[in-house]
């Protein structure tokens, strides 16, 4: 419905973004992103009154402290009582992975002095399993580098929350923390995320807080989707959330209730010259129905019961039930 199926696509011209809808309702929207191309090339810039389009010396990405500092400067200069939409995007969990104090201590305790001892550039990261054998030591090393970035991200998120508390005096109605994808760090002999449909890539954090949310804490009993964020945020702003993306507002879940079950869908696409030799490679689809997951490709399919096999280590199920046939038909229709 919005026209974006991979990083080379742009939003359909008639698609109204969350920022545009909130701006029309009187909000002051600002975006401070570590990867500026998301705003211009990706088409997410419209609707934001303030957004930064500069990266580091290579023009690629901004480090987290710079994103936080830009958000702080904007908050300090807010004028009036207009409600705001602030999007702060952090990139550290993505490659490349420099060495920090946490990772260096992990390397010291493990006696690690391998090829990742001084960090991993994006090229070095994706060489794992290819030019560099993906041994158990390398898997532990790349996880330490990744965890280092998570430690740093946690600090930056804390700084952002402190800024909101200080400038909005705890009046932030809705605060959302999420990610667009996970990262495979050697699981299933794969690294990265681009053309994979493993849970290590598809399952992402989603934490929703703010004064509009019950502070007792609720964990959703069934899967939700990033599609649900737009209608959830719009309803919090008192805006009609009816749209065509298939998302639904999560307020019943946030109140401790449930929503009717539904199928969820994921897609992996790759260019013809960049196809990984993996069961989850290019032109593959995933369909979820409860805890059942179907991975479908033109040359075959397999199922996983995530309630019994959350790490997807079991082989393909041989028996195809009536429910499975429905999932196969859905995948073939989407393909």
For position 76, what pLDDT does the model report?
92
For position 8, what pLDDT does the model report?
74
Cβ neighbours of residue 98 under 8 Å, at least 6 residues apart?
119, 145, 148
Instruction: Point out the least confidently predicted range of 8-12, 226-230, 233-237, 262-266.
Output: 8-12
Mean pLDDT, to the nearest integer, of 227-252?
A: 87
170 or 307: whose pLDDT is higher? Answer: 307
Read off the pTM. Answer: 0.88
pLDDT at 324 over 80: no
Instruction: Point out the least confidently predicted range of 51-65, 105-119, 129-143.
Output: 51-65
Mean pLDDT, to the nearest integer, of 103-118?
A: 97
pLDDT in tens, 175-185: 999 999 999 99
pLDDT at 278 over 90: no
137 or 241: whose pLDDT is higher? Answer: 137
- Between CA 4 and CA 13, with CA 9 as vertex, the angle to 5 degrees is 75
For position 244, what pLDDT does the model report?
64
pLDDT at 282 over 80: no
For position 322, what pLDDT does the model report?
66
Q: Confidence band (pLDDT; 50, 70, 90) for 277?
A: very low
């Amino acid at each position: 419905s919005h026209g974006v199926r991979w990083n080379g696509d742009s939003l359909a011209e008639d698609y109204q973004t969350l920022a545009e809808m909130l701006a029309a309702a009187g909000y002051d929207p600002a975006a401070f992103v570590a990867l500026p191309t998301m705003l211009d090339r990706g088409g997410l810039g419209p609707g934001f009154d303030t957004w930064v389009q500069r990266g580091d010396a290579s023009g690629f990405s901004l480090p987290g402290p710079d994103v936080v500092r830009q958000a702080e400067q904007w908050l300090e200069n807010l004028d009036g009582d207009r409600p705001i939409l602030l999007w702060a995007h952090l990139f550290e969990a993505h490659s490349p992975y420099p060495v920090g104090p946490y990772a260096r201590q992990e390397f010291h305790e493990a006696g690690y002095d391998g090829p990742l001892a001084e960090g991993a550039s994006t090229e070095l990261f994706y060489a794992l399993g290819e030019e560099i054998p993906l041994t158990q030591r390398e898997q532990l090393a790349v996880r330490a580098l990744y965890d280092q970035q998570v430690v740093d991200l946690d600090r930056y998120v804390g700084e952002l929350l402190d800024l909101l508390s200080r400038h909005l005096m705890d009046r932030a109605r809705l605060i959302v923390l999420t990610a667009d994808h996970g990262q495979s760090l050697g699981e299933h002999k794969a690294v990265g995320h681009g053309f994979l449909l493993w849970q290590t890539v598809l399952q992402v954090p989603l934490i929703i807080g703010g004064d509009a949310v019950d502070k007792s804490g609720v964990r959703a009993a069934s899967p939700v989707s990033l599609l649900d964020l737009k209608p959830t945020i719009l309803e919090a702003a008192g805006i009609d959330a009816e749209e065509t993306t298939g998302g639904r507002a999560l307020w019943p879940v946030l109140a401790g209730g449930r929503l009717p079950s539904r199928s969820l869908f994921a897609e992996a696409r790759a260019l013809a010259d960049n196809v990984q030799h993996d069961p989850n490679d290019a032109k593959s689809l995933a369909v979820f129905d409860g805890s059942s997951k179907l991975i479908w490709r033109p040359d075959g399919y397999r199922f996983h019961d995530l309630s019994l096999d959350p790490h997807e280590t079991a082989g393909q199920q041989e028996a195809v039930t009536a429910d499975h046939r429905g999932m196969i038909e859905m995948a073939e229709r989407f393909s």
